[in-house]
Structure 1
Amino acid sequence: MADEHESSHAKDKITETFHDEDSSSSSDSDSKPPPKKTFPVPPNRANANNVSWKEKPVHDLLGGAKAADLFLWRNKKKSIIVLGSVTIIWALFEMIEYHLLSLLCHVLILVLGVHFLWSNTLNLFYKCPQFPQVALEEDTVLQIASVARLEINNFLEVLREIASGKDLKKFLTVIAGLWVVSIAGSCCTLLTLVYICFVLLHTVPVLYERHKEKADVLLDKGEAELKKQYEVLHEKVLSKVPKSFKEKKLA
C-alpha cells in the first residue's frame, strides 16, 4: 500500500510539472507578439524605380493622361483642333499684330450681340429656350486654387534644393538651361517661344515614338559627350574649389 501511495504521489508530481511547463510555455507564447507576415515585393514594382526613362513608354513619360493622348495624336481630330486653335491665336497676335485688349472687347461684343438676338429678336418668330447661364462653382475654383498652390510650393521647393548646392551637376544644368532660354527670349517674344514649345510637344514625342531605336542611339552619344565635357569641367574648375567653401555652403 505504501508503494502504491508513493507511486501515485510521484505520478501526481510528474503531471504537475508537465502542466506547469505547458502553462508557462503557453503564457510565453501568449505574451510574445505573433510574427509579422512579410510579403515578397513583386519584381516589377521593385525594379520600377531602377528603370531608365528610355525603357519606359513615351505615353507614360508624358504623364499617361489625356494630355499624353493629345501630344501623341491618339485622337487626330482633337490634336488638329487644339494645334489649329493655338496657331490661329499665335497668328492673330504675332503676324496680324492683334492686341489682347481688342480681342477681349470684340469677344464680349459678340457674346452680348448673340445674347440680345437670342433673347429678343428670335423669340418673336421661334420659341427659343433661355440663353444658358454660365457660372463658376465654388468647389471648382477651390480645387484649382489648391492644385495651383501645391504646384507652386513644389516648384519653390525644387528651386531651393537646387540652389542649396547639394547636387552641383543639377545646379549647373539648370543654370545652363536658363541661359539658353534667356538667349531664345532675346530673339523672339514670349508668345512665340510658348508656341514653339507647344509645336515641339506635338511633334517631337510622336517622332521619338516612331523612331525610338535610332533616337536612343543618338541620345546615348550625346549623353556620353556631355559626361566627358562635365568631367573636363570638374577637373579644371570644380576640383579647384576649396573644400572649406563647399562645407560652408552645404552647412
Structure 2
Amino acid sequence: MPIYESSESDDETIPRVKLFGRERPMHAILGGGKVADVLLWRERNLSASLLIGVTAIWFLFEVVEYNFVTLLCHISITTMLVIFIWCMTADYFGWTRPKIPELLSNEHAFREVVSAFHWRFNQFLSKFLHIAGGKEPVHFFLVIVSLYIISVIGSYFDFVNLLFIGFLCMETLPYLYTKYENEVDYHAGKMTRRASKLYRRFDSRVLNKIPRGPVKEKKHA
C-alpha cells in the first residue's frame, strides 16, 4: 500500500490524520460488540439479513404503500400461520418445535445492544457540545456546512426514505471505510488542511478586523 505523502504549491505536507481525528480502531468506536460486528460485516449472514429485511420493509411502505397497521397485522397473521403449520408438521413427523431465536431471548445480547447505542449517543453528545463550544473552529465550520447539506437533502425525502438512507449508510459506510481506510484518511487530511487554511484566511481578513473594546484587567485582592 503506497504512503500518501505529497506537497502542493506552498510546499505544505498533507498531515497524516485519521478521519475526524479518531485514535481508536473503527470496531472500538462502534461499540466493539455485536452491533460493531454487524455494521462492519463481520457477521455476514446477520448483516445481509438485516439489510434485506429493512429494504423489504422500506419497499412495502414506499413502493407498495402499505399502511403500518395493515402491514403489522398481515405480518402477524403470516407468522402465526407459518408457526402453526411448522408445529403441526413437527408433531406429525416427530421434529423439533420452533424455538425463540437466541438473539431475542438472550437478555445479555439485548442489553449489549442497548448499552452500545447508549454509549454511542453519549459520545456523540459530548463531541457535539465540545465542537459547539468553539473548541475546534475548523470542525465547527465543517459541522455547520454538513448539517446544512443534510437539511437540504432531507427536504427532498420523506421521513421513511430518510430513515432508510440513514440505515443504508450505517450498513455500508463503516465497512467501506475500513476497507479503504488509507485512501479515505489521505483525502480527509487534505480537505482538513484546506479547511484550516480557509479559516485562517477568514480569521485574518475578517475576524481580526472586528473592533473590540479594551480588555479590563482583573483586580486581585
Normalised to the residue count of structure 2, the TM-score between the two structures is 0.60
Instruction: Show the counterpart of 2:56.
Output: 88
Instruction: Show the counterpart of 2:169.
Output: 200
Instruction: Show the counterpart of 2:65.
Output: 97
> Where do 5+ consecutive residues of structure 2 fail to align?
1-16, 217-221
Q: Is the 8 A contact 1:184 1:193 kept in 2?
A: no
Q: Which amino acid aligns with 2:64?
A: I
How many residues align structurally?
190
- C-alpha separation between the residues in 2 aligned to 1:69 and 1:177? 27
5 Å-filtered alignment, 1:36-75, equals: 53=21, 56-75=24-43
Instruction: Show the counterpart of 2:8.
Output: none
1:83-108 deviation line (CA, Å, top 9, x unaligned): 11111111112222222232123234
Normalised to the residue count of structure 1, the TM-score between the two structures is 0.54
- Secondary structure (helix, strand or coil) at the match of 1:174 reads helix
| Alpha-carbon RMSD | 4.4
5 Å-filtered alignment, 1:101-120, equals: 101-110=69-78
- C-alpha separation between the residues in 1 aligned to 2:166 and 2:53? 15
Instruction: Show the counterpart of 1:181.
Output: 150
Percent of residue pairs identical: 33
Q: Is the 8 A contact 1:54 1:216 kept in 2?
A: no
Q: Which amino acid aligns with 2:151?
A: S
Q: Is the 8 A contact 2:138 2:196 kept in 1?
A: no
- C-alpha separation between the residues in 2 aligned to 1:242 and 1:111? 70
Instruction: Show the counterpart of 1:219.
Output: 188
> Deviation of residue 165 (structure 1)?
4.9
- Secondary structure (helix, strand or coil) at the match of 1:63 reads coil
The answer to whether residue 159 in structure 2 is matched with residue 190 in structure 1 is yes
After superposition, the Cα gap between the structure-2 partners of 1:209 and 1:189, relative to the gap in structure 1 and judged at 3 Å, is same
Greater Rg by CA: 1
Q: Which has the higher helix share?
A: 1
- C-alpha separation between the residues in 1 aligned to 2:45 and 2:127? 37
After superposition, the Cα gap between the structure-2 partners of 1:236 and 1:211, relative to the gap in structure 1 and judged at 3 Å, is same
> Deviation of residue 69 (structure 1)?
1.2
